[in-house]
Structure 1
């Protein structure tokens, strides 16, 4: 955690405590929330993270001068000559990003290297740990030599300490299971509960890479922060969706389903255990997964909303009235003084550099009075000659984004008319051709919280609006409860969603899988019962959860304000697909509180402004940035210009992350599904990535895709599609597919003809690479006309919900694509559909797509 920072010269201490799983101590510092570490997804894999050596500290551009109020000279004092110059920041911060950005991780290898981000400057970075004292190298992006873990839970604390004793802390709990690893952490759907409201929890975990475990011993545990087991439930991988919530049998994903009506507000912790057999001569032991957190919160009443909303909007009116008559300093002072008299206000403070006024209410809810001057995208900050520099984060992590979906958000489009960079960006993306981006623009109230939640699915995000900084120095216990990254001031942005207190009075709505939009922009349908393919349930509104957990605040202008943990929390289950994020707001890069969680959650690069920015300058820089990225084909680092805002001399437009990010790459993304996700592909119906289907493994690598007519609650169709461009020198496409169906053999020759198609489509026409159905794959003796594509049908080692399953062998498809090569965008589709019924399921595996 971090307290108010007045001095930039720091050193960083890395502490690691280890204990065995038998002791029950699971790292209370992290698990109880005291670290505040968020729910992001890290860049590093295994023990890797950032390569050692010069690549970790190859920042470019001028180093920043030191702010006048730090007590240090701008150029010359020994105190400013730190050994490790972190990313320029107005406040001290440190974030672990490798091997994960999550608060917890389970590994099979005892040797673990760490990597992370430093904001500010460090005299030295020291590692003190019972598991070793690794050498630390790097600056903005630092890394270590491996530490040696003990079996069980190991708590690693990264502590940045200023010369005056001030601290910034991040914590990671690593569970070491010798010779065994879970494929990922548990995932909870939903990941929140409303107190005294009936709900259903589905918790899953993938286990397939290491086969040396007993599948009959996979058990979900609820545990206390110190590791005491509070409850246990068996998990299965048998396709019993109605009973245990398992959607696909024998796919290596274990599931359980819990009916819950939770009686009290608290954050619950769950993990998974299983019995592991390490090898000959070694005793079996209990392996433990990383933890997953589920927040149970009190609902918000309409009266509570109105009280909070009236207080913050009245403060906004007072701010504007005082601003018009006495100026911005007096406006801030008047609002702070007035709010201190309100009995419902627990704490109030003026945001750094006059960016507004933040409020913590007695209820634990947050508010923010926006303090921007006309023509800016936040609030004025004094120009004291301080330059936050033109540095870019220099980490080189791959060249391209992993999804060609773009989301352009402009909540204040009317205010910024004529100076809204989403408008030229939209035109640019629609006319680029290659690479072909699927672009969605949301303006005004359409840029609601549902749109903000979708950002973690996008390869390109452009947000144009208002931003500010606040909540520095609030009660550390509240920071811990919110699970914020640390106690730094939080860089916030405004959404387009208008506060409507009547929403909190609405009765809990019903929903079904046939109407996924029934729960509104902040809701989720939680299934409670099912009959065949029809699932019904109740809506869970995430709005009160996000407000209670400090992810959203009430804005004085009547809109919801989004905090960094909002993105970080959603990225826990939907990490950014190597995204480029543009923040056309004030203070997005002010202190790293927004940059770090976005980067740790999967974004490759973030372009943002360091302070108050005029709309004219933001429009000029943002429009030029995307023009240079797409029209000129420059990498992200070269597309950033270095001049300050003429109206705000201390504000610079800067890039954090991969300076080599190339947005012009246009070939197929994730063709072998080795990201372990559907990143790059558009999913309709049932399409997912799995590691196995009973005894069937991928043709190459560790993962493959599956599309089906309705495993789980999906009805009738499944599709994976992607738009991309085929290089002019490619002549053929190949991939492997394997067809499973309950309609074999009984329904050969009938009207029940589930179908699988693969096509490539473009302005040049359509190419059907594969078209097949039940009769085509049945033996010729089964019916007249059967067997036109028969190879073999084998009784399957997997069963679906209605009948016996047969499958084909892996079959290789190949087609000439010369007419499509080098001619512009194409769309490739893998499509499975029911014909004649939706009772009997069909699933098709697809792997290893290649254009040669």
Structure 2
């Protein structure tokens, strides 16, 4: 349109996303002339796509020289499959503009601006490619040497990977890049990111997919869809897929929808459903659309859709159908349970797992054994149909097996017989005891008692209701208060009902005759205050008695008045008995004990209370344990829990601690010397509940120290948000004020602002001024780390003042080798924590985090070395929960930020939190950020002063930080003679943190006396571990530390309770004489005991135990240890005791608990010993032990004889010659002792172990 002129073609141009390039036009004889304008037309339909940058005129001779020929062509086969071509860039006299790519027949297939080109969606075959280079005028080089590429068969093509938003979508097939989805379906950045229903919950609306140019889908091709379960419940669903319906399955275009494979995903789990093309579904399609077919709202996230093309190496063959499926009902105490078993399926690559279906519904989709027990939702007198399908690792699943049917039992009517009144001497004054026998196989009946003036009609008056049916069948009784009834005859009857069958009404035999009575004597109260004294102290007896003619107290006090008090001073625990005499010779007695205490030895009587805090108006069970070894042949100690005031005066009795295996009271194993109580506590106010344990045995009484249970108000969201806001504002203000005031004045200004803030109760500064701490009014500690002194940027590092240095750190190597207090690290597990790896690696001056190098030194530590892989956690993985597990490790490397805080904290709070010193507390930061979601998980630790909320000015982020009391509280089993490397500033400014580790069993603690920069810290850590682990001249940790102090910096210090060497290469702690699993790795129910009722160790003081799940544990146990088996090893010797509830009633049955011993090497697993129930049925005897199904309340029924049978201690010697044969050096091995269930998990077995050793010979 407009004026008509002449237009010339410029050179063509191909541009990739975001690229810039040049098109040219050369004037020649036909186009030369005199012009007053240059006008350029893009000649391409676009809207803000192609930007014209500039127009330039160049003069001179024309460029006719082509670029050099591309050299060094190469190819890489990538998933898709794709072929990625590369070559060396070409040179040109002016500039190379781009490259052209040709197929083997000379056809141009594309251009590239740089020396790389990707060919997408390549089908299997062999291809040849060449490349040329061209410049701006269009001069093209000769072809490169041809490159031949072979693409194999069998590959995976990405159809669509949905992102957290639309910009995150990725596609893998050319042209297949248009997303289709429902208007109710949208993107969510949840889990891996993807699409889900975001409006409503209709499962038929949620569809998503991708369209593109039509392509052929052949039999054997597979569509795989990855789903993520974002909910907190397990979801089972069967998605649907269509290749011709672009919208909702139930409306719009009508297409064909196919069922995909079903999927069961637990909370937070990700799984894959598949659809295989066959002859009925093959065809040419231009879309793939997937419907979740499950009602949800942001619950099931569709992550990606992939096309799997079969070929060589692709497994599409399903396993065989499972055969011989059987289903039986398994007797259980409550509810119903069925047991399934079947023959293993075969597969070309091996069956990976089985899926279980009940009445056509998938109830389990990852069963790895050929047996399964089902108890979820079963009801009585119902027939269930089960089938099983086998699946391999490639996701191919067989058809379902032949069905197996099983019918659950019904509910049996209960029965009741009144045994008193029985028609003989049934008279009563103020009370009468009614007795009866009852029976209900289902144990769910309740009993009500009534009285009437006649013996018929069942229309009497209720005495009591809701009495539980007596499970042991030996009868029960109830004391009936008849004091308000007029004299006369009354008939008693009972009603028993289970809520299913008709209630049964039963009368007693004859009436109960109530007579008028004279009031008996009554002891209103008889107390001692205090109830517990030490020798030489006094207690006061106080009493009040009514309706008595005489009153006396024994122990030499004699006759006393009806009311009175008397001071007493017994020298040993004494029982005082008050006797009140009434009319007609009636007497009443009441006794009280005054305990004269001695303290328990602290090593054996540490009281454990978990949790040690509860919340207002939230009743919660609290578990309290204390270890009290005793002679099983004598009297069992009487152990009770007392509520006392802060001075120890008795307020109330809370119950008894037992060692009887009663799980309801919290005790797991009968007779192990650990006494336990599980007590429900509650309070409507914030308070501290003071408690004490009293133990009485053989007339001797002892008392524990007073311990406490705190009652807190919850930390509110508003309080938590205010804490984070104050700390963020403080760091921001400090940084802003530093430029104008300087760092110290800025800190002082911020400190004054914090101190005056209404949410702060107390505030203070760290020694030296590089930190501010605060105690908030809600009872939570806070901490700011500020780099006021600039030490963290200096290239050097502080050295400890001379007054702080210990002479032993400068001892000669000769002197060190002469010391005798040397030990070895107690186990071969190590953990390396790098809480601020991200920060250290951002700053090149810090040389990065030392954690990776320390991990590598530990992994390369030789035979047998530390257990690998080393537990290695960085940044946000270093959580409060991870710090709770440190006692599992022999070597602990913590690389983090640290400081000292809380010097000057009010004594009231120090005493409340059990801090035993007025010095500041060493604080170590985790890598975990406090959030509104996670803070409730750590409320108790925050309120108990074990965890603080801190902020670091360099990172300007909040983090949780732990205090020494945290280490003491969470070291459940103690540290296994551990070495602790605390790579944090001021981690050894004082010994508050070191002492916490030492008190719980650690032996060496290394840290920094003052602040140090990251570069110095890295050199110290790397040098120490390199010398300690790799230098053959250095045996002990303190020797390595002396080298570090001399070569790097003396700011690093050591404290030690013993000299530590690396773990021994030999089998250690085979007699468990450390009193714990030191050197062993325990799994499931594994523990160390000093006694097992009457069973004592073979030698020494302790023995080990693995079981199929005693007490609360339901997981079979094992213990394992890694060590070096010497070349001259001859035998493995050990003592064992197999005790089980399965003897003798399950001999010859499918229930076969076992005991196995294996030695595991790099070349395989060697079974060295195995026994199961049938192997031992002829060599066991009844034991006095009590397990879950053999307690005092056990009833012999359903095949259970209520007896634990035992082999007693047996000696075993296993030949090791096969393992060491042919070896030329010591062999790294792992020895494992394990217990296991076969056929059921109801009846328990326990295997005791002692004196495990390796014998050697020439």
1:392 to partner: Cα distance: 4.8
The gaps in structure 1 that reach 5 residues or longer are: 1-17, 26-149, 153-173, 278-283, 506-540, 780-791
Q: How many residues align?
A: 631
Say whether the 8 Å CA contact 2:980–2:1006 is kept in structure 1: yes
Q: What is the alpha-carbon distance in structure 1 between the residues aligned to residue 1003 and residue 777 of structure 2?
A: 38
- In structure 2, what is the equivalent of residue 594 of structure 1? 993
Q: What is the alpha-carbon distance in structure 2 between the residues aligned to residue 681 and residue 472 of structure 1?
A: 40
Say if 1:806 and 1:577 are closer, same or farther in 2 by CA, change over 3 A: same
Say if 1:385 and 1:402 are closer, same or farther in 2 by CA, change over 3 A: closer
Matched, 1:563 2:963: yes
- In structure 1, what is the equivalent of residue 677 of structure 2? 256
- In structure 2, what is the equivalent of residue 620 of structure 1? 1019
Matched, 1:421 2:421: no
- In structure 2, what is the equivalent of residue 638 of structure 1? 1039
The structure carrying a bigger strand percent of its residues is 2
1:223 to partner: Cα distance: 2.8
Q: What is the alpha-carbon distance in structure 1 between the residues aligned to residue 983 and residue 872 of structure 2?
A: 15
Say whether the 8 Å CA contact 2:632–2:1093 is kept in structure 1: no
Matched, 1:669 2:1086: no
Q: What is the alpha-carbon distance in structure 1 between the residues aligned to residue 799 and residue 599 of structure 2?
A: 53
The 3-state SS of whatever aligns with 2:718 is helix
Task: Output aligned runs, 1:82-161, within 5 Å.
Answer: none
- In structure 2, what is the equivalent of residue 303 of structure 1? 718
One of 332, 353, 356 as aligned partner of 2:747? 332
1:335 to partner: Cα distance: 1.7
- In structure 1, what is the equivalent of residue 317 of structure 2? none
Matched, 1:389 2:805: yes
- In structure 2, what is the equivalent of residue 356 of structure 1? 771
- In structure 2, what is the equivalent of residue 97 of structure 1? none
Matched, 1:411 2:835: yes
- In structure 2, what is the equivalent of residue 122 of structure 1? none
One of 667, 688, 703 as aligned partner of 2:1087? 688
Q: What is the alpha-carbon distance in structure 2 between the residues aligned to residue 563 and residue 589 of structure 1?
A: 13
One of 352, 362, 365 as aligned partner of 2:780? 365
Say if 1:504 and 1:455 are closer, same or farther in 2 by CA, change over 3 A: closer
1:362 to partner: Cα distance: 2.3
- In structure 2, what is the equivalent of residue 845 of structure 1? 1248
One of 871, 894, 915 as aligned partner of 1:463? 894
1:646 to partner: Cα distance: 11
Scaled by the length of structure 1, the TM-score of the pair is 0.69
1:255 to partner: Cα distance: 2.0
Say if 1:598 and 1:372 are closer, same or farther in 2 by CA, change over 3 A: farther
Could you say which structure has the greater relative contact order, defined with CA pairs below 8 angstroms and 6 or more residues apart?
1
Say if 1:21 and 1:558 are closer, same or farther in 2 by CA, change over 3 A: farther
Say whether the 8 Å CA contact 1:355–1:380 is kept in structure 2: no
The 3-state SS of whatever aligns with 1:415 is helix
1:690 to partner: Cα distance: 1.2
Q: What is the alpha-carbon distance in structure 1 between the residues aligned to residue 929 and residue 832 of structure 2?
A: 19
1:353 to partner: Cα distance: 1.4
Cα-to-partner distance string for 1:739-791 (whole Å, 9 max, x where unaligned): 11111111111111111101111114333222111111122xxxxxxxxxxxx
One of 928, 944, 950 as aligned partner of 1:549? 944
One of 878, 901, 905 as aligned partner of 1:474? 905
1:443 to partner: Cα distance: 0.5
The gaps in structure 2 that reach 5 residues or longer are: 1-531, 540-570, 574-595, 810-815, 842-846, 952-956, 1190-1201
Q: What is the alpha-carbon distance in structure 1 between the residues aligned to residue 1245 and residue 1068 of structure 2?
A: 26
Task: Output aligned runs, 1:26-425, within 5 Å.
Answer: 176=598, 183-210=604-631, 214-215=635-636, 217-232=638-653, 233-242=655-664, 244-277=665-698, 284-323=699-738, 326-372=741-787, 386-387=801-802, 388-389=804-805, 391-392=807-808, 397-417=821-841, 418-425=847-854
Matched, 1:810 2:810: no
Identify the range of structure 1 (325-334 vs 297-306) with the bigger mean alpha-carbon deviation: 325-334
Q: What is the alpha-carbon distance in structure 2 between the residues aligned to residue 288 and residue 449 of structure 1?
A: 34
One of 783, 799, 802 as aligned partner of 2:1186? 799
1:209 to partner: Cα distance: 4.3
Say whether the 8 Å CA contact 1:576–1:601 is kept in structure 2: yes
The 3-state SS of whatever aligns with 2:605 is coil
1:592 to partner: Cα distance: 2.0
Which one has a bigger Cα radius of gyration?
A: 2
Q: What is the alpha-carbon distance in structure 2 between the residues aligned to residue 442 and residue 424 of structure 1?
A: 13
Matched, 1:827 2:1230: yes
Identify the range of structure 1 (192-201 vs 374-383) with the bigger mean alpha-carbon deviation: 374-383
Q: What is the alpha-carbon distance in structure 1 between the residues aligned to residue 933 and residue 1102 of structure 2?
A: 46
Q: What is the alpha-carbon distance in structure 2 between the residues aligned to residue 731 and residue 400 of structure 1?
A: 25
Matched, 1:437 2:866: yes
Say whether the 8 Å CA contact 2:827–2:1063 is kept in structure 1: no
CA RMSD, aligned part only? 3.1
Task: Output aligned runs, 1:3-14, within 5 Å.
Answer: none
Q: What is the alpha-carbon distance in structure 2 between the residues aligned to residue 590 and residue 300 of structure 1?
A: 32
Q: What is the alpha-carbon distance in structure 2 between the residues aligned to residue 378 and residue 752 of structure 1?
A: 67
- In structure 1, what is the equivalent of residue 981 of structure 2? 582
The 3-state SS of whatever aligns with 1:809 is coil
Cα-to-partner distance string for 1:218-254 (whole Å, 9 max, x where unaligned): 2222333322123331222222113x12211222222
The structure carrying a bigger helix percent of its residues is 1
- In structure 1, what is the equivalent of residue 377 of structure 2? none
Identify the range of structure 1 (434-443 vs 212-221) with the bigger mean alpha-carbon deviation: 212-221
Q: What is the alpha-carbon distance in structure 2 between the residues aligned to residue 603 and residue 377 of structure 1?
A: 29
Scaled by the length of structure 2, the TM-score of the pair is 0.47
Say if 1:550 and 1:235 are closer, same or farther in 2 by CA, change over 3 A: closer
The 3-state SS of whatever aligns with 2:1060 is coil
Q: What is the alpha-carbon distance in structure 1 between the residues aligned to residue 599 and residue 638 of structure 2?
A: 16
1:175 to partner: Cα distance: 7.1
Say if 1:739 and 1:210 are closer, same or farther in 2 by CA, change over 3 A: closer
Say if 1:384 and 1:437 are closer, same or farther in 2 by CA, change over 3 A: closer
1:645 to partner: Cα distance: 10
Say whether the 8 Å CA contact 2:630–2:636 is kept in structure 1: no
Say if 1:665 and 1:774 are closer, same or farther in 2 by CA, change over 3 A: same
Say if 1:298 and 1:574 are closer, same or farther in 2 by CA, change over 3 A: farther
Q: What is the alpha-carbon distance in structure 2 between the residues aligned to residue 235 and residue 384 of structure 1?
A: 53
Say whether the 8 Å CA contact 1:377–1:465 is kept in structure 2: no
Q: What is the alpha-carbon distance in structure 2 between the residues aligned to residue 225 and residue 671 of structure 1?
A: 44
Say if 1:182 and 1:795 are closer, same or farther in 2 by CA, change over 3 A: farther
